[in-house]
Amino acid sequence: MKNYHQKNLLIPTAFIGPAGIEGNESIRAVFEPFSLLYVDDQ
| Helix extents (H) in the chain | 24-35
Q: Where do the domains of the chain lie?
A: 1-42
pLDDT value at position 39?
75
- Answer yes or no: is pLDDT of 2 > 70: yes
**E strands in 1-42:** 13-16, 19-22
pLDDT value at position 42?
46
Gap between the Cα atoms of 3 and 37, Å rounded: 20
**Which pLDDT tens digit goes with each residue over 5-42?**
778 888 898 887 778 888 999 888 988 887 788 776 54
Note whether 17 and 32 are within 8 A (CB): no
Q: How confident is the model at residue 4 (pLDDT cuts 50, 70, 90)?
A: confident
Confidence (pTM): 0.59
